[in-house]
Structure 1
Amino acid sequence: MGPRVTCPWRDRFSGFQVRTWMEPLVALTQVAGSLYDAGLLLVVKASFAEAGGSSNHSANPSLEEPQEDQEQKAISNFYIIYNLVVGLTPLLSAYVLGWLSDRYHRKISICIALVGFLLSRIGLLLKVVLDWPVEVMYGAVALNGLCGGFSAYWSGVMALGSLGCTEGCRSLRLILIDLILGLAGFCGSMVSGHLFRQTVGHSGQGLLLTACSVGCAAFALFYSLFVLKVPESVAKLNKVQPTVETMPGMVGTYRTLDPDQLDKQSVPGPPLIPGKGKPSRTIITLLFVGAVIYDLAVVGTMDVMSLFVLREPLKWNQMQLGYGMASGYMIFITSFLGVLVFSRYFQDTTMIMIGMVSFGSGALLLAFVKETYMFYIARAMMLFALIPITTIRSAMSKLIKDSSYGKVFVILQLALALTGVVTSTMYNRIYQLTMDKFIGTCFALSSFLSFLAIVPIGSHILKSQKGEPTVQFSW
């Protein structure tokens, strides 16, 4: 039996350090985000439906199918530009905020990103109230991106989550944060369709939904500014008695990653061999490549899915759309339970591959969905889809200094954001070209990419079997 690993949230309960909890912040932000995402899609759909109906009804009153296709293409084109703005505008600001967070204060990237988050939600509210054209949302989301966007926000959350946590239970800690995010998103999506239908005339369509989103975003910003405290680094607390830990999913033993630990000779274990830093850099690269390929598959599926359910053969209404989006958040619960169980028996790399196989199988079934019940079966097959990215973050955090968490996590998040930009454009174009021939083409492509992402992770395992040592890696 090895030494008992204690998880950080138990210590927090005993010490009443509730101000270090990020869960309320994540929950508020995700409720606001899920309401916003559903509201934006429904508002955009209503805007294009009205524009298409007024321009085409008199000329072709009986041609409903071409009008539906035209509406689908208009929504798809809107999201192509929208996702380009979402992905490109945070590129510079997010890295700068990550660097400032590492150098000065951990909350900088979170607080500034939430300012932009609130501004974009206010933009959607003003669009509904003042009946502005949907193109105004490009400017609103650009403000969000210039404040760091989701890349700065989520990298800041992951950095704080990793700080107050021992390496032995970091995967579980980060997936717990994802679980809170999923539960909040589930609640927000479940009520989004009902809130959207609570209207007062045409000018009020979506007013209650967008107002609730703004309110949650404002509370999240308040919590981050005046309540949230940065937890103390576990590595610094343990620097008086440094230990050697064997981490799941990694090769060999290595030191607790404390940048201030200078007495490296006092710890028993294999000596650090000069010039052997490259294997760790190779492992980091393999993890990056696996994360990017897998994210391409996931983001592409999510982008197309919202359009897929609005047309034949499913053709959902507002309430069904809300329920369908809520079902997607169930994977946060199942992925958490998966990590809770799998971490006892498997290495990190094995858990990553289990998640990739789960998502790839679900995406393949989704390509052939004809009925609503088949859609939910496909979503159920994706029950471990969240494990790969979260576990990759955890594995990377075990190879770097905690003083570099902000920069490293924001680099990974920006890489995923750039992937999202390419994916959105590519998948929306493929969807437009194939929706009349085989509407499941994009989902079949995602399934292939998900299985392809296993290759670099498998390469990491092969390198591990060769016995290459893992050493301390610093950026």
Structure 2
Amino acid sequence: MGPGFTCPWSGSLSGFRVRTWIEPVVASTQVAGSLYDTGLLLVLKESFASDARDSSNYSANQSLGERQEDQQQKAISNFYIIYNLVVGLTPLLSAYVLGWLSDRYHRKISICTAMLGFLLSRIGLLLKVMLDWPLEVMYGAAALNGLCGGFSAYWSGVMALGSLSCSQSRRSVRLILIDLVLGLAGFCGSMASGHLFKQIVGHSAQGLLLTACSVGCAAFALFYSLFVLKVPEAVSKPNKVHPTVDTVSGMMGTYRTLDPDQQDKPNIQANPPTPGKEKPSQAIIALLFVGAIVYDLAVVGTLDVMALFVLKDPLHWNQVQLGYGMASGYIIFITSFLGVLVFSRYFRDTTMIIIGMVSFGSGALLLAFVKKTYMFYIARAVMLFALIPITTIRSAMSKLVKDSSYGKIFVILQLCLALTGVVTSTMYNKIYQLTLNKFAGTCFLLSSFLSFLAIVPIGVVAYKQVPGSRQGECADTQRS
């Protein structure tokens, strides 16, 4: 790959150097994260199961065993309530500051600091497994992760670098490509996680190989981001000097998105933006925020409960099945990427967002009535476009603000999602506990409702955008 190497997703990024690619950081971080997530859940399961076996009231009686399984589910759920509160709230102290520093001084500040937090949290789980420390240690590990910015600072930094490296007309595809890499890495990590957990079987050593691999991947991501990764130069400004780059025909250059993409054409004519467009842009950003938050409520709630749902009857998965099940969730990164490539040629961003929301809502509805393992995978298959909404919303927002504000706007969105995730996690876990013996799929029904509800603000954005875009196209036709 020489300096002149180009690829379909890079578009106008001639001379794009390998060291500016964020993908190696995303891939190694996600492998570490998928190993860590599976490892933490299995460590919790083994710890609470061991406590139940050691209790004096333990019996082989089937009815008592079922009650102990329910108690184990509630114990894991209660752990995750506190754990998710720590993970969601501690970044509020640092993520916005890191985003501001990244915009003002250096783009890698938020990514590298968050990488340090990731590494410390993975080391915390490794030490818990090696030294048989109490589970409460993981609250401290989560706090260290959050104080370093957590996922909010990390992912906002990744999205900022991804947005800088491409033009507006290619941004949705560029960001979904990063998500694709994340999904492929998560798939590989999850597929291997169950097997790695079983390699060393013992009391405190079970899961040692899994957690050690997670630490290794996190360390690689940190050192790569510190010493190898370089910040790409923004390509949006050169587009004004060489506007023909964005008018090249082809799959990437001809797809239609939100009205901000229509600004590319006025840029060719060197027409300044009218002051009257600022207020509509603010209203659109607000509606996009609302749609993203409501949709994220549905997604986060489903994922939080799903991990517990598959461990109990009727599915009652083991370690390997759990790894495969978590890996199936990463397939949507591939299908969502392919969906954006196809849909972007025929639909606007708002239409793609709605397609993704309908996909997830329908899958969550089916998930509520799962009784067999094959039914679970059918429900996951229906969610094949579930990743499109949040990624496309981020892309749309990046087109409405200056590139110097990417770090702040992305971290604000991520912090909003983190806050709502904290509320969602607590709410869904409590609902799951209350409905565990009645109808365990209640949470999935709620997620389906919220997913369809999120379509409302996006529909309003579509309604606001269509007339303006048509008028703009007519005006461009008349000028040509």
Q: State the TM-score, normalizing by the size of structure 1.
A: 0.92
The 1:137–1:238 alpha-carbon spacing in structure 2 relative to 1, beyond 3 Å, is same
1-structure distance, mates of 2:17, 2:340? 26
**Structure 1 residues 200-247: Cα deviation after superposition (integer angstroms, max 9, x where no partner):** 521211000000000000000010001100000002333435689898
Deviation at 1:250, TM superposition (A): 2.5
Task: Tell me the residue number matched to 1:251.
Answer: 259
2-structure distance, mates of 1:254, 1:415? 28
Deviation at 1:463, TM superposition (A): 1.6
**CA contact under 8 A between 2:168 and 2:261: conserved in structure 1?**
no
Task: Tell me the residue number matched to 2:184.
Answer: 183
What are the within-5 Å matches in structure 2 for residues 15-414 of structure 1? 15=15, 17-55=17-55, 57-58=57-58, 61-62=61-62, 63-241=64-242, 248-251=256-259, 255=263, 267-269=269-271, 272-414=273-415
2-structure distance, mates of 1:288, 1:75? 32
1-structure distance, mates of 2:51, 2:366? 35
- Matched residue type, 1:130: L
2-structure distance, mates of 1:16, 1:389? 26
DSSP 3-state at the match of 2:241: coil
**Structure 1 residues 397-450: Cα deviation after superposition (integer angstroms, max 9, x where no partner):** 111100100000000110110111000000000000001000100000000000
- Matched residue type, 1:74: A
Deviation at 1:252, TM superposition (A): 7.2
**CA contact under 8 A between 2:243 and 2:267: conserved in structure 1?**
no
2-structure distance, mates of 1:141, 1:77? 15
The 1:249–1:255 alpha-carbon spacing in structure 2 relative to 1, beyond 3 Å, is closer
1-structure distance, mates of 2:58, 2:387? 48
The 1:27–1:276 alpha-carbon spacing in structure 2 relative to 1, beyond 3 Å, is closer
Deviation at 1:395, TM superposition (A): 0.7
The 1:247–1:16 alpha-carbon spacing in structure 2 relative to 1, beyond 3 Å, is closer
- Matched residue type, 2:170: C
The 1:304–1:253 alpha-carbon spacing in structure 2 relative to 1, beyond 3 Å, is closer
1-structure distance, mates of 2:261, 2:198? 57
- Matched residue type, 2:335: T
Pairwise CA RMSD: 2.3
Deviation at 1:274, TM superposition (A): 3.6
The 1:8–1:327 alpha-carbon spacing in structure 2 relative to 1, beyond 3 Å, is closer
**Structure 1 residues 10-65: Cα deviation after superposition (integer angstroms, max 9, x where no partner):** 666x6361101111111000000000000000001111111122125446755111
The 1:266–1:70 alpha-carbon spacing in structure 2 relative to 1, beyond 3 Å, is closer
Task: Tell me the residue number matched to 1:473.
Answer: none
2-structure distance, mates of 1:101, 1:383? 34
1-structure distance, mates of 2:134, 2:35? 20
**CA contact under 8 A between 1:8 and 1:166: conserved in structure 2?**
no
**Structure 1 residues 169-201: Cα deviation after superposition (integer angstroms, max 9, x where no partner):** 111110000000000000000010000001152
2-structure distance, mates of 1:320, 1:74? 21
2-structure distance, mates of 1:36, 1:6? 33
**CA contact under 8 A between 2:259 and 2:468: conserved in structure 1?**
yes
What are the within-5 Å matches in structure 2 for residues 432-451 of structure 1? 432-451=433-452
DSSP 3-state at the match of 1:437: coil
Question: For this pair of structures, how many residues does the alignment match?
Answer: 458
1-structure distance, mates of 2:350, 2:399? 13
**CA contact under 8 A between 1:247 and 1:253: conserved in structure 2?**
no
2-structure distance, mates of 1:302, 1:71? 18
2-structure distance, mates of 1:104, 1:395? 25
2-structure distance, mates of 1:198, 1:153? 31
Q: Which runs of 5+ in 2 are unaligned?
A: 1-5, 248-253, 473-480
Q: State the TM-score, normalizing by the size of structure 2.
A: 0.91
The 1:122–1:426 alpha-carbon spacing in structure 2 relative to 1, beyond 3 Å, is same
**CA contact under 8 A between 2:156 and 2:407: conserved in structure 1?**
yes
The 1:265–1:169 alpha-carbon spacing in structure 2 relative to 1, beyond 3 Å, is closer
1-structure distance, mates of 2:317, 2:355? 31
Deviation at 1:278, TM superposition (A): 1.1
1-structure distance, mates of 2:59, 2:440? 28
1-structure distance, mates of 2:440, 2:174? 38
- Matched residue type, 1:455: V
2-structure distance, mates of 1:77, 1:458? 37
- Matched residue type, 2:161: L
DSSP 3-state at the match of 1:234: coil
**CA contact under 8 A between 2:352 and 2:388: conserved in structure 1?**
yes
Matched, 1:416 2:404: no
The 1:388–1:139 alpha-carbon spacing in structure 2 relative to 1, beyond 3 Å, is same
2-structure distance, mates of 1:49, 1:306? 16
- Matched residue type, 1:43: V
Task: Tell me the residue number matched to 1:260.
Answer: none
- Answer with 62-71 or 304-313: which moved more: 62-71
**Structure 1 residues 261-304: Cα deviation after superposition (integer angstroms, max 9, x where no partner):** xxx999444x6444442111000001000000000000000000
- Matched residue type, 1:406: G
- Matched residue type, 2:401: I
- Matched residue type, 2:36: Y
Between the aligned residues of both structures, percent identity stands at 77
**CA contact under 8 A between 2:9 and 2:173: conserved in structure 1?**
no
Q: Which runs of 5+ in 1 are unaligned?
A: 258-263, 471-475
- Answer with 55-64 or 428-437: which moved more: 55-64
2-structure distance, mates of 1:338, 1:466? 25
